Amino acid sequence: MARENIIYGYRPIVEAIREGKQIEKLLIQTNLNNESIRNIKEELRKQDLNIKQQYVPIEKLNSITRGENHQGLVAYASLIEYKNLEEEIEKSIDKCVPFILILDHITDVRNLGAIARTAECAGVTCLIVPDEGSAAINEDAVKTSAGALLRLPVCRVKNIKTTLNYLKQSGIKIFAATEKATNVYTKENYNLPCAIVMGAEDKGISKDALKLSDALITIPIKGNIESLNVSVAAGVIIYEVVRQRSK
């Protein structure tokens, strides 16, 4: 069965996977390891799908499905259609100078939504998020984005490091926004194909992403608080790109 973006029961979930429906998360009943669950895991392996799996008490599944027969399985279907990164880059090169935004494990859904809203308003080519360790694109994220997540191309990737290497090979310059930088963001030239990497507020950008970046940029802080909210910082840098490209 299905309700909105919730799919429950063995057969409906398997059919959704085989039809290519994008699944955000799979909930499995705790201490349940029957043939249906093993078959679904095997189906995910065959499809090479790295879907987040979480074991939860039966009471939680009953609450989600309002007491209907879920067979110990509940899946959350994606609210958006994720795009293919290579296709988006190829299309953008034909139309404009690519401007890509990469969110390196930002876990707060409201920050993700706010960043997406700014990105869509600024004409960002596409938004890249990792398929693990990133905020879910759920109803709260879509609502915070004012619907931008339904319009802005979003690409979900398995590995940020591999993605950065691909972008660099495609002639796209990588800028990483980090407090560790000394170079002020306004000093760089963004009138070329570029990607901006924004990291989580607690951990920042991963070491691999920093190493692969072509330039590290920072926003000057004049007060006593050490950093800006990541969605605010993203907005500041995004609109510097817009400013430069509008000249």
Which residue in this structure is represented by tokens 């990497």?
A: 197
- Provide the pLDDT for residue 4: 56
- Tens-place pLDDT, residues 162-178: 999 999 999 999 999 99
Long-range contacts of 54-61 (CB under 8 A, 24+ apart): 54/25, 54/26, 54/27, 54/28, 55/27, 55/28, 55/29, 55/30, 55/31, 56/27, 56/28, 56/29, 56/30, 57/29, 57/30, 58/29, 58/30, 60/27, 61/8, 61/27, 61/29
**CB 177, CB 104: distance < 8 Å:** no
d(Cα 151, Cα 140) in Å, to the nearest integer?
16
- Provide the pLDDT for residue 123: 95
d(Cα 238, Cα 121) in Å, to the nearest integer?
10
- Tens-place pLDDT, residues 14-29: 998 888 888 888 999 9
Nearest CA among 226, 232, 176 for reference residue 202: 226
Residues contacting 237, CB < 8 A, separation 6+: 175, 177, 185, 196, 198, 217, 219
Of 75-79, 92-96, 160-164, 220-224, least confident by mean pLDDT is 92-96
- Overall average pLDDT of the 191-198 stretch: 97
Report which of residues 77 and 146 the model is more confident about.
146
- Overall average pLDDT of the 182-188 stretch: 96
